[in-house]
Amino acid sequence: MLPLPFIQTLSNGLPIVYQSEFRAIYYGTIAYVWMLFAIYLSTKPKWLDRLIGLPEMYMVHGMLSIAAIVLAYLHKEGTASTGWIKTTGDWSFDLFLGLMIYSLIFMAGWLTNRVPVLKKLKQLLEKIFKHELSIWIHRLNILAVILVFIHVQLISYIVAIKPFIYLFDVASAFVLGCYLFSKFVQPLTYEQGYLLANRTIAQNVQELKIKMPRSSHLDLLAGDYIFLSFPDYPGLREMHPFSIANAPDKTREITLAIRGDGDFTRQLTEVKPESMVKIDGGYGRYQEFLNDQPKSANIVILAGGIGVTPLLSTIDANLNRNLQIFYTAHKQADLLYLERFDQWQKYSNIGCHLQVGRFKDVQVLEQLPNDWQHNTIFLIGGPSSMMHHWVRFLKQHGAGNGQIYFEEFSW
């Protein structure tokens, strides 16, 4: 829908002499609008996060960017230009294409998790292209957009279409303003706390406890995740998302359980207590999803490995609800916070089922409440393959989309 006003104002003013290029020009216009929207989504607007969730926003961001590059290619092949018009257009397309390939390898887990060769290549190159460098390389998309903006401003017959060019300039200025605000102004509002403790709780898993000041105004809900950085540690200065493992309370303490999967997370073992930490949050929809459901609804938790982290805080915040918890890991040592499950098991309204290795479908099905298709909601956290398996299984047995929620960070 977003490109329609641009296409309408453009079509009303395009000279007939360029009729053979109309379709390609429209392709280029749609590509630019989609790329602007993708950049706006990269600013993590909180109003949209609480509405649809940041993982969905990232997915739209990634898919729109890829679709925009495809349309940009069709635009490039279907139009003729010379001089700086051609040069700026070619430069922007080449830059977008290169950044897309780089992002698919280093910043799109859905692809590398499915292609073993790419996963090995990523692990090899991560020694050079670390998290902070990848973030800065990704920001070159702004340069590519600026090149497109210049490209359009150089085309005299396009600039002559005043309604279109006004709309084009306003949209460009708005997105650029939002982006600059998110990078230079919003960081000034990040909350500042300090690290209380940093300990290893399982192989390759660190627990960080963070203390926030009395003046903190973090808007945290159970199941949320935060973006954090450690300004005093090179390599940890760019924001990175992590789920909270404890329900927010008056102690103003935040507990994180983090697996060392990348250079940023592996380096967390070096952070000393009392270190300053900057936090932006909260983000997420687990508790928002629960709040939208009837209070009488049963809750079933399906968790695997480190994916249990946001669900731990969700359980803590909903101990008065009827809960069935299924938690699995590859090894006994990978089952986290067993003492919390022991405590929850004492509640008459909570059932805990823990095991090494994935649950068989029938194991879960036998433990579900009667008439669960109409009175039960499901929260899922874990590896992508596990989450998608349970979503398919539940839907095959009668669950509706509105009964299931999970957050998948594949982009």
| CATH code of the domain in which 231 resides | 2.40.30.10
CA 359 to CA 84: how far, in whole Å? 61
210 and 280 housed in the same domain: yes
The domain boundary residue, chosen from 186, 205, 223: 186
The domain boundary residue, chosen from 186, 217, 244: 186
| Continuous H helices in 203-308 | 263-267, 286-291
The two tokens of residue 319 are 């101990």
331 and 391 housed in the same domain: yes
The two tokens of residue 252 are 């103003």
216 and 180 housed in the same domain: no
Domain of 175 in residue numbering reads as 4-186
For residue 56, tell me if it sits in a domain. Answer: yes
Length of the chain, please? Answer: 411
| Continuous H helices in 271-353 | 286-291, 309-316, 338-345
Between the alpha carbon of residue 198 and those of residues 209, 221, 248, the distances in Å are 7, 23, 19
33 and 182 housed in the same domain: yes
CA 25 to CA 44: how far, in whole Å? 30
Q: Give every residue of the chain whose pLDDT is below 70, as ranges.
A: 108-113, 410-411
246 and 364 housed in the same domain: no
pTM for the model: 0.86
pLDDT, tens digit, 9 for 90 and up, residues 36-92: 999 999 999 988 888 888 888 888 998 999 999 999 999 999 999 999 999 999 999
244 and 324 housed in the same domain: no
209 and 165 housed in the same domain: no
What dihedral angle (degrees, nearest 10) is formed by the CA atoms of 53, 54, 57, 61? Answer: -170
The domain boundary residue, chosen from 130, 152, 186: 186
Domains in the chain, number:
3
CA 100 to CA 333: how far, in whole Å? 38
